[in-house]
Amino acid sequence: MLAVGRAGAFRVLSLAAPGVPAAFRPGTFVVASPGDDRLAARAWWIHRVDPASAFGPTIEVVVDPGSPSGAWFADLAVGTRIALTGPLGRPFTLPRQPVAALLVGEGHAVAPLLALAERLRARECPVTLLVGARDEKHLLAVREARRLVRQVVVVTEDGSVGHRGVVADHVGSLLASSSAGVLYTAGRPDAVRAVASIAASSDVPSQVALEVPMPCGTGLCHGCVVAVVGDDAVPRQVRACTEGPVLPGHRIDWEALP
Amino acid sequence: MSAPGLGALRLDHPVMVASGCGGTGRELAPFVDLDGLGFVTRTLTRHPHPGGAMPRVVESPSGLLHAVGLHNPGLEVFLAEELPWLVRAGARVVVSFCASTLGEYAELTHLLASAPGLVGVEVNLSSPDADGVGAFDAREPFHAASAVAAVRRELPADLALLVKVRPDPVRVVETARAVRDAGAGAVVVGGALAAAMPDGRPAGLSGPAVRPVATAAVRTLVRTAPEIPVVACGGITTSEHVRDYLAAGAVAVQVGTGLLHDPTLITRLVHDLEETS
Ligand code: FES
């Protein structure tokens, strides 16, 4: 680990990770396990990569020290060696044509969206970013985002910055005003469900990066299943770590998710 | 290495992939060279099993609790979609399976008998929650032996017949003798200990916590019934652990939960063993 930075309530860990930046695409993640006595892996979205920093290829992940395993990672000393595996998982699919895109994230789930915004911009897609959080301290990457995308809308539950409320309150109107042709979102199932449903009812396709526990991250344990409905309307299960974490929103069987 | 009892399952080194922790093989391939590797599939059943409710895998001190509920695509889908890939990748494939009746054991073995490229089968009699998943109850050695006899009758002699029994130091000898007499080539001692999820659902406990228990079972078995070849499984994360099991008399080992923690583990173990042998 090269450095631990602060971003409000979050920590941004910079890690030397040879090989990861080259294969990175937005939405992919790395896993690491906290110690030999804790056996399940923890998945972290890759926030940013630098293929050629002064320390060689590096990545950044965002950690919430308020969560039990997040505290473990956030407290590690600079210089600690961590066994990382990644990048893993299926990334966001990028549109072939330049279409307007709405990106929606809350709290640390904004982490994978910034790199996505960059790649969308490179394809000349006008990007609107809707960022939500409990309060000002839990807002991530708003300043960088302002430089990067056409429009940034901020929502906090306590109203300390931007509009008061939750992101779902604004998805409908932003889909309309930005004429978005696609919606991208990331977060826990309970957090992104409303966002994806609004996209569905507005006939806008969505790409959802699901945050579910991933005990191995590599497809071996079958501990991360998500119920989906195939093109053939047949329900089946996929693993969030290998067939996801990014899934088309209309495929996800929200009723079957915790 | 041609370990006793393993028949067609020839191993270049004593480390195999344990049932349930190698995915379909494709997931492991980026981390481990499957060519020549003994690969035991997740436990397959006659019909697809959608598996248990979430959460399915939860940490506990020194072990992982799991209630995956035999999630698998069913034997026929496996044979059509997964086996050919594994065989092409060079894996020495052993199909782990379990059935709900003796007749179904015979039927599944019949399907497996002609599967191209297969080198052996592993009858899974060590599921910690046989009732919950509708598997034949093989807790009594007599019943375990009946299941193995049903498999033996249908299985070609050149395929290895492994039987996985619970790592139970108290009953392992009886069970191992019974299944050996019924035709098992080797006994795999390992698998999960019976446990409960935090919410009370039946679960298995795997990982480091199992190693001392499995070690006791392996030692007891090797001492009491030295004629039975034993494959040891439980809590292996270092080459020391492998050596300890081999020193206790195991002919080979299987690595499971450790792969969830570090998918490159087998590569590392094999390398370490070669360095110091
Ligand atoms: S986290 Fe283990 S299979 Fe997905």
Predicted-complex ipTM score: 0.80
- Give the C-alpha distances (Å, rounded to integers) separating B38 from A66, A200, B31, B77, B92: 43, 47, 15, 21, 5
Query: Measured between CB atoms, does A23 come within 8 Å of chain B?
Result: no
- CA A239 to ligand 1 center in whole angstroms: 6
Q: What Å distances lie between residue B27 and A21, A250, B21, B119, B144, CA to CA?
A: 21, 26, 10, 21, 32
Contact B34, B28 (CB under 8 A): yes
- Chain B residues with beta carbon closer than 8 angstroms to that of A220: 21-23, 27-28, 259-260, 263
Residue A95 DSSP symbol: P
Provide mean pLDDT across the span B244-257. Answer: 96
| Band of pLDDT at residue A148, cut at 50, 70 and 90 | confident
Tokens representing residue B21 in the block: 């922790």
Q: Please provide the average confidence, as pLDDT, over all residues in chain B.
A: 93
Residues in the ligand 1 pocket, defined by CB under 6 Å: A 214-217, 219-224, 239-241
- What is the CATH number assigned to the segment(s) A2-88? 2.40.30.10
Q: Is the pLDDT of residue A155 over 70?
A: yes
Distance between B199 CA and the closest CA of chain A, angstroms: 15
Mutate to test the interface with A, among B41, B57, B206 (most CBs of A within 10 A): B57
- Helix and strand numbers, DSSP H then E, in chain B: 9, 12
Query: For residue A122, what are the contacts with CB-CB under 8 A and spacing of at least 6?
Result: none
Number of structural domains in chain B: 1
Give the mean model confidence (pLDDT) for residues B8-18: 91
Is residue B8 included in any domain, yes or no? no
> Is residue B1 assigned to a domain?
no
pLDDT for A258 beyond 70: no
Kindly report the average pLDDT of chain A as a whole number. 91
pLDDT at B1: 58
Residue closest via CA to ligand 1's atom 3 equals A219
Residue A117 alpha carbon to ligand 1 centre in Å: 27
* Cβ pair A211, A200 in contact under 8 A: no
Output the pTM of the full model.
0.87
To test the contact with chain A by mutation, choose from B197, B261, B265, B266 the residue with the greatest count of A C-beta atoms within 10 A, namely: B261
Chain B contacts of A33, Cβ < 8 Å? 261-262
Q: Check which CATH number belongs to the domain holding B201 and give it.
A: 3.20.20.70
pLDDT digits (tens, 9 = 90+) for B46-86: 999 988 888 999 999 889 999 988 899 999 999 999 999 99
- Looking at CA atoms only, how far is residue A213 from chain B in angstroms? 8
Length of chain B, please? 277
- Over residues A11-68, the pLDDT tens digits come to 999 999 999 999 999 999 999 887 766 778 889 999 999 999 999 999 999 999 887 6
Residues in chain B with CB shorter than 8 Å from the CB of A215 are 57-59, 64, 260
CA of B157, closest CA in chain A: separation in Å?
Answer: 31
Say if residue A125 carries a ligand binding annotation. no
Q: Residue A235's pLDDT is what?
A: 86
Write the residue in A33, A40, A223 that is nearest to B68 by C-beta.
A223
Residue B194 maps to a domain = yes
Which of B201, B206, B109 lies closest to B160, judged by CA?
A: B109
Domain that holds residue B232: 15-275
The answer to whether A215 contacts B23, with C-beta atoms less than 8 Å apart, is: no
Helix (H) or strand (E) holding A175: helix A168-178
Q: Could you read off the pLDDT of B81-102 as tens digits, one per residue?
A: 999 999 999 999 999 999 999 9
The whole-number pLDDT of residue B196 equals: 94
* A221, A227, A228, A234: CA torsion to nearest 10: 100
Query: Could you tell me the two tokens for B65?
Result: 């609790």
Binned at pLDDT 50, 70 and 90, residue B277 comes out as: low
Q: How far apart are CA B189 and CA B178, in angstroms?
A: 14
Contact B57 A36 (CB under 8 A): no
In the CATH hierarchy, which fold is given to the domain comprising A101-211?
Rossmann fold (3.40.50)
Question: How many CB atoms lie under 10 A from the CB of residue A215?
Answer: 28
In angstroms, the CA A177 to CA A191 distance is: 23
Domain boundaries, chain A: 2-88, 101-211
Distance CA B109, CA B102 (A): 11
Q: What is the C-alpha to C-alpha distance for residues B220 and B226, in angstroms, rounded to an integer?
A: 10
CA torsion sign for B54, B232, B213, B63 is negative
Residue B3 lies in a domain: no
d(Cα B84, Cα B93) in Å, to the nearest integer? 10
What is the predicted pLDDT for the residue at A36?
67
Residue B2 has pLDDT above 60, yes or no: no
